[in-house]
Structure 1
Amino acid sequence: MTETYIAVDIGASSGRLMKSERQENGQITLEEIHRFKNGFRMKDGHNRWAIHQLTNEILLGLEKVKKSGATKCYVGIDTWAVDYCLLDKEGELLEEPISYRDARTEQAITQFSQQFSMEKLYEKTGIQIQPFNTIFQLFVENKEKLAAAEKLLLIPDYLGYVFTGNAVTEKTNASTMQLLNPDAQNWDDELLSLVGLNQKQLAPLTDSGTVLGELQREKFPTFDLPCATFITVATHDTASAVIGTPGEGQDWAYISSGTWSLLGVETTVFNVSREAFLENYTNEWGAHNTIRFLKNIMGMWLIQEVARMQEYRYSYAELADMAAATPAFQQFINVFDDSFLNPENMIEAIQQYCEKTQQKVPKTAGELARCIYDNLALCYAVELEKMEELTGTGRKIDKLHIVGGGSNNRFLNQLTANATGVTIEAGPGEATAIGNILVQMITTGIFTDLKEARKVIQHSFGVSIHQPEAFDQTIIEKYKKFLKGATN
């Protein structure tokens, strides 16, 4: 009997349940069963996630799984990183979780650095310094509320707990909290103390690929649910996306392209050098004893917000077409600038940035899209060069895999190939769900290891190839000079 696997893959703007089976020819299938919207909204003074809505949508999706004919299945959950739920002694939420884009952490790094060196924090954890990291969220958290919490669970671990009653802290996501010490392979007590947390409030650390437990169907009597075994996959969506990347050998890199663009390499050695600290590269723990050495880049969030501000008058494909018909490289923007993190109006934020830096102001939809795509491609090129330097002399990336939703943007893919001078292999678009599924399949014995599983990706899902075309390298040098001036 063919086993059924379900990937619950939830991002910052949407979620989906994807159904997968392994066919007799060795390929794996992927079918969308249920899709739903996600997002934060202002409540009680903070931007909060509607976590109860997420649990309800997962249950609705599992009902559809059963209606599709699967009475038994395996399930894995992945979501975004760093955000958490606080539970009371009865295991109930103290409040809806606050989004990492909430303004509460705007001054957190400045305040934290008065007590603890940022460079020492990096040496201890290997994690990039970002204001939304869990350590900074906890630093500004209400201390009475934090002290009253019996348990803290990251978002995917909380969802798994709701459905199985078993609480764990999966390592690939836990590493993004900036509270784990890679040398000790455990929590760092000094950092926990600084934020007012103790190890008893944290669920046991667990490797991806661990069976979590059975779905407690009796808790949800109004839903017609299948028998489901939950597996703790690589619960950080980027970790799952990297697993779902069909890379071979050593000289490849990836961009997990979604709301964020995560550009990195898969390695087994932590890099906590001063150079890596100054460039703000991160060492996130990966599945199967790997490390994701990567740079967090403001990604499709920019174009998503521009589309939203235009009330979705144009599709993303139409915006890309309009960008292609617009003159190139009319302005430079630093995509890392804080003004783009969560502005009320992204169009105004981009325009004000260009006014401030005395550049041509993009006004039309095509000009705005062209500005975003040009600068993302330039940023990728600059960061790829830095990453090659940071990962050791002699390492030259010869292939860049772009996976995730952004891999469908052929215009940006070609721009990136041109700017980097590297062959782009774009796809699969559903790499995160695929990586989620592959961990489940390895756990249940379908594949022996990650290498074998990745070969199946190549045979099961299509990719597009983008070869570099002629590109004026002086544009990159001008961009670097602009960035140097913009950050001084």
Structure 2
Amino acid sequence: MKSYLAVDIGASSGRLMLGNVVEGKLRVREVHRFKNSFSLRDGHERWDIDGLIGEIFTGLEKLRQEGLTECTLGIDTWAVDYVLVGPNNEKLADPISYRDRRTAGKITELTAKIPKQDIYERTGIQFLELNTLYQLYAEEPERIRQAEQILLIPDYIGYVLTGRRVAEATNASTMQMLNLREQNFDRELLNFLKIDRNQFAELTDAGTYLGELQSKWHERYDIPACHVITVATHDTASAVVGTPALGKNWAFLSSGTWSLIGMELPEPVCGPIAFAENYTNEWGAYGTYRFLKNIMGLWMVQEIARNTDYKYSFAEMADQASQYPPFRQLIDVNDPRFNHPGHMITEIQDYCRETGQEIPGSIGELAQCVYGSLALRYAKELEQMKRMTGREIDSLYIVGGGSHVAMLNQWTANLAGITVYAGPSEATAIGNLCVQMIADHELGNVREARELIRNSCAIEEYPPQQGDTSLILKTYNEIISNK
């Protein structure tokens, strides 16, 4: 029986998940889990990248102690952040988080020199200040000159493990620096940033063999032999692979710290409406595109929990939210003020006060405000996608941690008027595992992978309930338009 290991690291936690196919069913178990966060060091919010790599070896040692001698391994993480590697093959500094404030105002500065529409036509990627394009624009010029290589987080981890450098395409596309027509880094953007093409590694597709663990790691740790595969290294790309969708008329929602709602398409959609609505065309696995919208997700609920010293679990917060009538207070979850506020609860309350709404006070009211506003935003974006793509959407697959919030799932089904399917919550790790299995010829393609997932995982169904939601949608649109 072959063993596959997903190293799946998000912005708040990471995990190592071991997968096997047993009697036609995918069996997945957590081997090791650890926390992840950034902290203020040297004037910037930085990730502890060495600490994350150390956690990977801790998980591998656990597996070896269990008797595992060999496995295939794939790595996925969040997008856009990078490590600068110097001439001595060591990082120049710990990577800076996308939530660092150094990119504030950089879109305005950069697009005063290169028009927004030109960048969008070249890249098809939405404008977010966290994009790698603006991070590199804000980077210290001397650091750029010193860097022999610029590697995104999962590519850097893969490099440390194997000694081989690549730029995996599903993640590289999020940088807003790849040219859709040339299928490579855009030359004008590189020239503008004074970056040489050779400072980026070769673009590599998901499912490509990367290499074996370097011998020095076996000398330092008692770990299994690992055959590293470059999976869909962007966590959303892996989550889409791990979405157990049927048919053609479906959309996905990867619901976690961020809510990524979109469609898997064979071609990008870069028209004027997509540009105006700031939609993105990230490259997907196996020649697809993730046409999607970034929405501020459960980050807001996580911050409410933090503001109350984690007095309530997320399940308790959802339970308390259910005790209040829905849609009493509505906010634009994508307002930049919620990206990294000093105090999320105060920010939500100020928004409601400024828009003439009742001010939420209790945990239940605050959580209800966020969940209701998220559901409304999801319904709004599904309608937008139908208009832009000319395709019908009759089902929405919600994967990730947010798939457990039944109330949010049902409200989304009601407002969008479509059936919602929720689960699996570990779709990212599962998608990571499935790419490894396809590369290893245990699965033939993504269709087979999704059939395996449907036959192996519990998936909840939420049919839309009858009721007139037009007034709620109208009120929501008025609030976000007038803000």
Q: What is the rounded CA distance, in whole Å, between the counterparts of 1:223 and 1:345 in structure 2?
A: 42
**1:10 aligns to what?**
9
**Aligned AA (2:106):** A
Q: Is the 8 A contact 1:152 1:202 kept in 2?
A: yes
State the distance in 2 between where 1:423 and 1:286 align: 24
Please tell me the residue identity of whatever aligns with 2:228.
F
Structure 2 residue aligned with 1:423, among 419, 425, 428?
419
In structure 2, how many angstroms separate the alpha carbons of the residues matched to 1:452 and 1:276?
A: 32
What residue in structure 2 maps to residue 244 of structure 1?
242
3-state SS of 2:99 partner = coil
Shift of 1:343: 1.1
Q: Is the 8 A contact 1:41 1:48 kept in 2?
A: yes
Q: Is 1:480 aligned with 2:477?
A: yes
Aligned equivalents of 2:88 and 2:25: distance in 1?
44
1:17-59 residue CA offsets vs partner (Å, 9 max, x unmatched): 0000111x21111000000000111111111101010000000
Within 1, Cα distance between the matches of 2:286 and 2:304? 38
Amino acid at match of 1:482: I
* Aligned mate of 1:329, from 308, 319, 327: 327
Distance in structure 2 (CA, Å) of the matches to 1:221 and 1:309: 44
In the alignment, the residues of structure 1 paired with residue 67 and residue 452 of structure 2 have an alpha-carbon distance, to the nearest angstrom, of 25
User: Which stretch has the larger CA shift, 354-363 or 334-343?
Assistant: 354-363
Could you tell me how far apart the structure 2 residues matched to 1:432 and 1:138 are? 27
**Following the alignment from structure 1 to structure 2, what is the Cα–Cα distance between the partners of residues 254 and 193?**
36
Whether the 8 Å CA contact 1:50–1:96 is kept in 2: the answer is yes
What is the alpha-carbon root mean square deviation over aligned residues? Answer: 0.9
**CA distance, structure 2, for counterparts of residue 157 and residue 235 of structure 1:** 8
Q: CA deviation at 1:65?
A: 1.6
- Taking structure 1 as the reference length, the TM-score comes to 0.98
Number of the residue aligned with 1:62: 60
Residues 294-341 of structure 1 deviation map (CA, whole Å, 9 limit, x = unaligned): 000000101011011111111111111100001221222111111100
Q: Which moved more, 1:208-217 or 1:227-236?
A: 208-217
Alignment length (residue pairs): 482
> Does structure 1 residue 457 correspond to structure 2 residue 453?
yes
Q: Distance in 1 between matches of 2:185 and 2:5?
A: 31
- Alpha-carbon distance in 2 for matches of 1:170, 1:441: 18
Quote the residue 2:464 is aligned against: 468
Residue 217 of structure 1: how far off its partner (Å): 4.0
Match of 1:271 in 2: 269
CA separation in 1, counterparts of 2:397 and 2:118? 33
Deviation at 1:219, TM superposition (A): 3.4
AA aligned to 1:298 is: M
Contact 2:401 2:426 in 1 (8 A): yes
TM-score in terms of structure 2 length: 0.99
1:398 equivalent in alignment to 2:394: yes
1:101 is aligned to 99
Match for residue 346 of structure 2 among 345, 348, 351 = 348
Q: How far is 1:220 from its partner?
A: 5.5
Q: Deviations over 1:142-186 (max 9, x none)?
A: 011111100000000000000000000000000001110011111
- 3-state DSSP class of the match of 2:262? strand
* Corresponding position of 1:141: 139
Other-structure match for 2:290:
292
Distance in structure 2 (CA, Å) of the matches to 1:362 and 1:309: 15
Retained in 1: the 8 A contact 2:403–2:425? yes
Matched, 1:302 2:297: no
Whole-angstrom CA distance in 2 between matches of 1:278 and 1:212: 39
Q: In the alignment, what sits opposite 1:180?
A: 178
Contact map agreement 1:6 1:19 (CA 8 A) in 2: yes
Following the alignment from structure 2 to structure 1, what is the Cα–Cα distance between the partners of residues 175 and 422?
30
Match of 1:20 in 2: 19
Task: Tell whether the 8 Å contact from 1:404 to 1:431 is kept in structure 2 after alignment.
Answer: yes
1:194 match: secondary structure: helix
Whole-Å separation in 1 of the counterparts to 2:356 and 2:42: 39
**How many angstroms apart in 2 are the aligned matches of 1:31 and 1:331?**
40
Identity of aligned residues (%): 52
| Alignment gaps of 5+ in structure 2 | none
Q: Which runs of 5+ in 1 are unaligned?
A: none
